[in-house]
Amino acid sequence: MKEKNHLFLKVTASIGLACVIVLGFITIIGTGGGDSSHQSTVETTRDGSGVWFITGSDEDRLYDVFDAMGYAVATDRLWQAETFRRAARGKLAEIFGLGQLEQDILVRITGYSDQELEDGFDALDGEVQDVIEGYVAGFNRRIAEIRDDPSLLPFEFAALGFMPEDWTYKDVLAWAALMMRNFDVEAQKMGQIDNAALYQGLMTLYPTTGAGMFEDLRWINDPDALTYIPKGIGPLESKEKAPSALMENPPVIPDVRGVAKSMAAMRLRIDENLKKINAYIKMGSYAWTVAGSKTSDGNPIIYSGPQMGFTVPSVVGEGSIRAGGLNVSGMIITGIPAIVIGRSPHHAWSMQVGHAHTVDYYFEDPSDVTLNRMETIHVAGGDDVVLPVWRTTHGPVVNPIPYDPGTYVPSPSNPITSWKYSHWGYEFESMKAYLDIARATSMDEFGAAIELVPLSQHFCYADKDGNIAYWMSGRDPVRPAGEWRLPQGAVAPPLEWDSAVLIPRSTDRNNDQGYYCGWNNKTNTGYANSYNNFSYFFGPFNRAHVVDDYLSAHNDLTFNDLRNLALNIATTDSFGGGGNPWKFASDSFTYAVNNAPDAPKADRSAALALLADWDGHFVDGGNTEWTEGKDRADAWVLMDAWIDEVLKLTFEEMDSPFLEEEKEIRLFNVLLHDLLPGGIENNYDWYLPYDSYDVVIVEALDNVLLDLGVRPWSQDARGTITFNHDMLGQVWEMPFSSRSTYAHCVEFGAAGPVGIESMFPLGESGTILMGEGGAPIFDDNFFTMTPVYDDFSHREFPLFTP
């Protein structure tokens, strides 16, 4: 009896135990992961141009929403996405061969390791992980369809003879990081190395004046440069001459001219090779946001025009997401699960490349270098390349490439150089930033999201509450006082900084002038130039003046006025990629001509009269000619040639190879520092060996007029923008202008947007299929945007009505 009881108890306890364990598992599984019984209501539709619209309920999962986005993008842009992810993962050579090996090497050295990508993903918010994994799932859903039906395989894969592999979250993170570096003014530039070479070259050729010349060519901050945030003070009346420590006691620095040249040549080769496969991504941009006080309807209006080049297919597309708690539409970039530039029912925003100081180069001692990992790069048609990746505490070693401690001979002229990037480790936060930017319901929330943006961009903003605002994003660390135009360790012991400690954010809202605008110009008067990117040295002339001039001179602006301003400014052109340099040179040039010892001379006077009647556009004739005209204005040709000749004569004595790289826009600003009142005064008399700038200006005009001959000077000389497919050659062209790649114009009423118009090149689809005999078959939506893009007409985009 007792044994029976024991058996009964044993059985009962065992059953109880089993039940408890099952219950334990069920309660774990049943309380986590949300409600799988919720049926996704996410749907994707397309408009007549192929632009996709994802709709659903607020209860839909972000995973499902971005699965839909991933599927739509993969359907449209699978080959483009393939080149992007391979560029980001260092796997281009695997399909393109040796020609792309240098890009693979560079990105493996400066990119994140697999482990860092895994750790970065794990550190993201759960919802951000859902976004990425959903997007990847959508991509892979499309790839699975293609595997089942190879007739859907895009032309380029078929031509190269391979099937795309599944995407992973690592592909998305690596591409996001590389894309943002493409959009960061300093990330991929090496201006400090070039500066060291320039300084060394100047000191060699001009031992007594070289340091002053360096100061003139690499000024730190011109307080008269045009800024996004309006100046607190007017233009300076007196010159500022502030010799740096470098000028007062010019140091001897290592001669790195050879290294600078070889590094620059490698970067150039990489860019050219990426262009060949339409994977070279860059960014410029113009934007303006105008308060209700300056518009006819009293509504704020914003225009965003990011300039990202003209690839095939376009680097951008467009889409709309109204599901999963998101309500946003706008510009997308292939491979990135986000609306990058867009609008919501509450606000709209623009992005243009900013100029935070994000990179410093450090000269290192061999003892500071450690092996991080070994990478193997597969090369089509060649042997695998095994690449050691070396780092110091500052970051990856970028010279020599590849570094080999066994063969490296320490030399001041070939220093071990590391790359320290202030966004390192922060770049994956961009996905969270995009979500928060889209979901913001106030300026403060938008500003909080800007803090997460791991690249330097100017953001203009407008909302339904009547606000306009501006931020420059990016991590610009607090640096100790010192010489930051040169690599650390070049002139003094290296200075250090912490990427977690940043200078105050450059931001402003609702200013008195009633607008913020810019074209990659300076953020505020206190901000220094970008020492690693010479296109971001700000002086009296910057192309942004054409936007500022228009907005400051006009009131009661309509939606059409502010939309059409894009065409107005895009038909200006200069060595600065837009703008009208004549505005800044005219007084000095006119004075010099009119006061020349042999004045007046008829041809010179005629030249001045031509320029006096000119409206500043490189195409004469107003809107219609701006879109369709084939000729360049004679006045523009004269202006361009004259200023070019003045610069040539002014700086001709510096005919050393390292100065050939000096860009005209920077030399023009050096010239203006002498010709215009206020701002910076040069240390060196650049007009030498001439007697004065007046002599230079007049001689230049005579030279140019002789060279140009009889008018007209520029028939059929407008130029074209061509769209070249990497395998099929040119597929489209349109008249040249200094235009943006994407554009949206949004007007806000009190309840939300009351007008949205947008445009982008070519079409939403980049898909080409392979037809019989290998003939390309372009998707129906490959060119559907050209009717509204090519002539700047824009097209209406649906509002956020229910």
Partner 1 sequence: MHSTKVNKLQILIGIASLLVGLLVYLIDRPPDTAYFLAGWAKDISLYNKIPNMFGPISNTLPAFAHVFSFSLITAGILGSRKRGYLFICLFWLLIDGAFEMGQRYSSMPLKFIPSWFDGIPFLENTGNFFHFGTFDYLDLIAFVLGTIFAYIILTLTMERRKGYEREESFIS
- Identity of the amino acid at 120: G
The answer to whether 1 contacts partner 1 (rule: CB under 8 A) is: no
Q: What is the DSSP letter of 428?
A: G
Interface region with partner 1, contact rule CB under 8 A, candidates 23-31, 625-633, 667-675, 764-772: 23-31
CB nearer to partner 1: pick between 17 and 750 = 17
Interface region with partner 1, contact rule CB under 8 A, candidates 17-25, 194-202, 311-319, 787-795: 17-25
Q: How far apart are CA 502 and CA 395, in angstroms?
A: 19
**In the complex, what is the shortest distance from the CB of residue 29 to partner 1, in angstroms, rounded to a whole number?**
5
CB nearer to partner 1: pick between 29 and 481 = 29
Give the one residue of 49, 51, 61, 686 binding partner 1; rule: CB under 8 A: 61
Interface region with partner 1, contact rule CB under 8 A, candidates 11-19, 387-395, 514-522, 711-719: 11-19
Whether 558 and 686 have beta carbons less than 8 Å apart is answered as no
Query: Can you say how many angstroms the Cα of residue 341 is from the centroid of all Cα atoms in its chain?
Result: 13
CB nearer to partner 1: pick between 31 and 115 = 31
Give the one residue of 27, 442, 595, 720 binding partner 1; rule: CB under 8 A: 27
The answer to whether 38 contacts partner 1 (rule: CB under 8 A) is: yes
**In the complex, what is the shortest distance from the CB of residue 25 to partner 1, in angstroms, rounded to a whole number?**
7
The answer to whether 798 contacts partner 1 (rule: CB under 8 A) is: no
**In the complex, what is the shortest distance from the CB of residue 30 to partner 1, in angstroms, rounded to a whole number?**
4
CB nearer to partner 1: pick between 16 and 97 = 16
CB nearer to partner 1: pick between 30 and 689 = 30
Whether 661 and 191 have beta carbons less than 8 Å apart is answered as no
**In the complex, what is the shortest distance from the CB of residue 5 to partner 1, in angstroms, rounded to a whole number?**
10
Interface region with partner 1, contact rule CB under 8 A, candidates 21-29, 88-96, 335-343, 493-501: 21-29
Sign for the CA dihedral angle at 611, 614, 616, 618 comes to: negative
Give the one residue of 10, 241, 269, 378 binding partner 1; rule: CB under 8 A: 10
Q: What is the residue whose two structure tokens read 């496969």? A: 277
Q: Which of 479, 483, 480, 478 is nearest to 245 (CA)?
A: 483
Q: How far apart are CA 606 and CA 164, in angstroms?
A: 63
Q: How far apart are CA 400 and CA 404, in angstroms?
A: 8
The answer to whether 26 contacts partner 1 (rule: CB under 8 A) is: yes
**In the complex, what is the shortest distance from the CB of residue 319 to partner 1, in angstroms, rounded to a whole number?**
23
Give the one residue of 33, 234, 504, 689 binding partner 1; rule: CB under 8 A: 33
Give the one residue of 2, 4, 24, 330 binding partner 1; rule: CB under 8 A: 24
Interface region with partner 1, contact rule CB under 8 A, candidates 10-18, 104-112, 644-652, 778-786: 10-18
The answer to whether 35 contacts partner 1 (rule: CB under 8 A) is: yes
The answer to whether 729 contacts partner 1 (rule: CB under 8 A) is: no
**In the complex, what is the shortest distance from the CB of residue 33 to partner 1, in angstroms, rounded to a whole number?**
4
Give the one residue of 4, 20, 391, 748 binding partner 1; rule: CB under 8 A: 20
CB nearer to partner 1: pick between 60 and 360 = 60
The answer to whether 32 contacts partner 1 (rule: CB under 8 A) is: yes
Q: How far apart are CA 684 and CA 181, in angstroms?
A: 36
**In the complex, what is the shortest distance from the CB of residue 61 to partner 1, in angstroms, rounded to a whole number?**
7
The answer to whether 170 contacts partner 1 (rule: CB under 8 A) is: no
Q: Which of 244, 243, 255, 262 is nearest to 205 (CA)?
A: 255
Interface region with partner 1, contact rule CB under 8 A, candidates 4-12, 421-429, 625-633, 683-691: 4-12
Q: Identify residues 687-726 at the interface with partner 1 (CB under 8 A).
A: none
Q: What is the DSSP letter of 229?
A: S
Give the one residue of 1, 4, 30, 774 binding partner 1; rule: CB under 8 A: 30
Interface region with partner 1, contact rule CB under 8 A, candidates 15-23, 93-101, 143-151, 314-322: 15-23
| 675: helix, strand or coil | helix
**In the complex, what is the shortest distance from the CB of residue 60 to partner 1, in angstroms, rounded to a whole number?**
10
**In the complex, what is the shortest distance from the CB of residue 125 to partner 1, in angstroms, rounded to a whole number?**
8
Q: How far apart are CA 130 and CA 135, in angstroms?
A: 8
CB nearer to partner 1: pick between 125 and 145 = 125
Q: Which of 567, 561, 529 is nearest to 734 (CA)?
A: 567
Q: How far apart are CA 643 and CA 668, in angstroms?
A: 8
142 Cβ neighbours under 8 A, 6+ residues apart: 70, 71, 74, 75, 78
Query: C-alpha dihedral over 576, 579, 583, 586, to 10 degrees?
Result: 50
Q: How far apart are CA 245 and CA 247, in angstroms?
A: 5
- Count of alpha carbons within 13 angstroms of residue 190, beta-carbon side: 23
Interface region with partner 1, contact rule CB under 8 A, candidates 14-22, 70-78, 274-282, 696-704: 14-22
Q: Are strands 52-55 and 316-323 parallel, antiparallel or unpaired?
A: parallel
- Count of alpha carbons within 13 angstroms of residue 10, beta-carbon side: 6
Angle between helices 169-182 and 62-89 in degrees, nearest 10: 60
Interface region with partner 1, contact rule CB under 8 A, candidates 30-38, 367-375, 420-428, 479-487: 30-38
Backbone angles phi, psi at 418, to 5 degrees: -110, 160
The answer to whether 640 contacts partner 1 (rule: CB under 8 A) is: no
The answer to whether 59 contacts partner 1 (rule: CB under 8 A) is: yes
How many CB atoms within 10 Å of residue 234?
8
CB nearer to partner 1: pick between 17 and 245 = 17
**In the complex, what is the shortest distance from the CB of residue 119 to partner 1, in angstroms, rounded to a whole number?**
11
The answer to whether 371 contacts partner 1 (rule: CB under 8 A) is: no
Q: Identify residues 386-425 at the interface with partner 1 (CB under 8 A).
A: none
Angle between helices 602-612 and 582-594 in degrees, nearest 10: 150
Binding mask 98-117 for partner 1 (x = CB under 8 A): --------------------
**In the complex, what is the shortest distance from the CB of residue 222 to partner 1, in angstroms, rounded to a whole number?**
49
CB nearer to partner 1: pick between 20 and 777 = 20
- Helix (H) or strand (E) segment spanning residue 673: helix 664-675
CB nearer to partner 1: pick between 36 and 801 = 36
Query: Can you say how many angstroms the Cα of residue 384 is from the centroid of all Cα atoms in its chain?
Result: 33
Q: How far apart are CA 420 and CA 392, in angstroms?
A: 9
Q: Is the peptide bond before 581 cis (omega within 30 degrees of 0)?
A: no
- Identity of the amino acid at 573: D
The answer to whether 11 contacts partner 1 (rule: CB under 8 A) is: no
Residue count at the site for partner 1 (CB under 8 A)? 31
Which residue(s) pair with 778 in the sheet?
768
Interface region with partner 1, contact rule CB under 8 A, candidates 3-11, 240-248, 368-376, 388-396: 3-11
CB nearer to partner 1: pick between 40 and 244 = 40
The answer to whether 63 contacts partner 1 (rule: CB under 8 A) is: yes
Q: How far apart are CA 483 and CA 247, in angstroms?
A: 11
- What is the distance between the terminal CA atoms of the chain, rounded to a whole angstrom? 76
> Which residue pairs, CB below 8 angstroms and at least 24 apart, start in 715-724?
715/630, 715/631, 716/630, 716/631, 717/631, 717/632, 717/637, 718/618, 718/619, 718/629, 718/630, 718/631, 718/632, 721/310, 722/310, 723/310, 723/311, 723/312, 723/761, 723/762, 724/278, 724/312
Query: Can you say how many angstroms the Cα of residue 248 is from the centroid of all Cα atoms in its chain?
Result: 37
Whether 664 and 649 have beta carbons less than 8 Å apart is answered as no
Give the one residue of 2, 31, 383, 406 binding partner 1; rule: CB under 8 A: 31
Q: Identify residues 120-149 at the interface with partner 1 (CB under 8 A).
A: 122, 126, 130, 133
Q: Would you tell me which residues interact with partner 1 (CB under 8 A)?
A: 6, 9-10, 13, 16-17, 20-21, 23-38, 59, 61, 63, 122, 126, 130, 133
